Every structure is written in structure tokens, then in C-alpha cells.
Amino acid sequence: MSSRTYLPSEQLRTYVKRIVISENEQKNTYKVLPDTSIVMGFQYSGTLCHQTDSGLKILNNAGVTGLSDKYKIFTNSDDTGTLLVVFTETGAATFLKCELQELFSHSVSLDDMIIRSKMDLVTEQLQEARNDSEPVLVIEQFLTSSVTGLPRVAVVDAAVQLIKQTGG
């Protein structure tokens, strides 16, 4: 398993904490601990499943995982490549056309949130990338073109800062 982390461009840093490229040559099951970030992911190779109470759920090539109060268990197939966008605490609202609380404890497809042809183009470009800088550029272009234009709410940003300063 290899994982490489990149800082987003200056233009996206208000919204995105980091971009991660994760590659697994062999089938693997692993836990993901709760975090303060909503995560958008694109599978450019292989398959990823989320373990639910009713069994394994195969995830779509493009999806988003909401906040959670407990760990999640994922299983990938052999030769799985994933690009993850880890949003800031308030960043996901700029890109996703849904009520973010509806994502709580769920991993869902981006089909209803982003135009399918855009997602397919991004996945195709990620599959064709020849080095790490190309997929990061692809996802940054996608995000820049997907800004919904929702204004940032100063009181929410101030609340996040206060929570961080006071340790919760």
C-alpha cells in the first residue's frame, strides 16, 4: 500500500485540506477513523467496498463519505487506485449540492450531486495520468470548475476557528 499526500493549489486551500493518492496492489481490508472532514473519492482502478451491517457495499467510482462518529471498514480489490479530496471543515458545501448532514455516516455516489459526464471525464483523465502531478492537476481543475458559488458564512468560519482554538 502506498499513499502520497499533496497540498492543494492556493486557490483551493480555503476548501481543501489535502489531496491523497492511495494505491493498493493487493486486496486489503482496513479501518478509517472518524475525522472532521468530508472526503470525495475517485477510483481510477480497482474496486472499493464499504462494510455495512448488511454486508459489503460496492462503492461507485466517484463518491463522497460524510462525517461519522465511529470508524468505517473498507475493502479494496487488487490493483486499486484512489484519489481522495479531503475537504476543510466548511469546504465541502462549496462543491456538493446536498444537505451535508444527510451524508452523516454514509458513503454515497456523486451521481446525484455532480453531472455524470464530468465525473466520467475526471475518472478517465485519472486513469490516463502518467505521474502524480497529472491527477492532482486534473482534480484541481475539476474542483475549480465545480464551485457552486455559495458564499462562505463568516460566522461558521469563526465557529470552526473557536472550536479549534479551545480544543473542542
pLDDT (0 to 100) of residue 52: 86
Q: How far is CA 97 from CA 92, 105, 115, 150, 166, in A?
A: 9, 18, 11, 10, 31
104-123 pLDDT, tens digit per residue, is: 988 888 887 777 788 888 88
State the distance between the two ends of the chain, measured CA to CA, in whole angstroms.
33
Higher pLDDT, 135 or 150: 135
In sign, the C-alpha dihedral spanning 154, 158, 159, 164 is: positive
Strand partners, 62: 42
**pLDDT score of 24:** 92
Are 1 and 28 in contact by the 8 Å Cβ rule? The answer is: yes
Which cell goes with 159? 465557529
> Quick one: which of 128, 129, 160 has its CA closest to 14?
160
> Rounded mean pLDDT of 138-152?
77
User: What confidence score (pLDDT) does residue 150 get?
Assistant: 54
Percent of the chain's residues with pLDDT above 70: 94
Nearest alpha carbon to residue 26 among 61, 75, 73:
75
pLDDT of residue 73: 92
Q: Is the pLDDT of residue 159 over 80?
A: no
Dmax (CA) for the chain in angstroms is 45
pLDDT one-digit tens code per residue, 11-52: 899 899 999 999 999 999 999 999 889 999 999 999 999 888
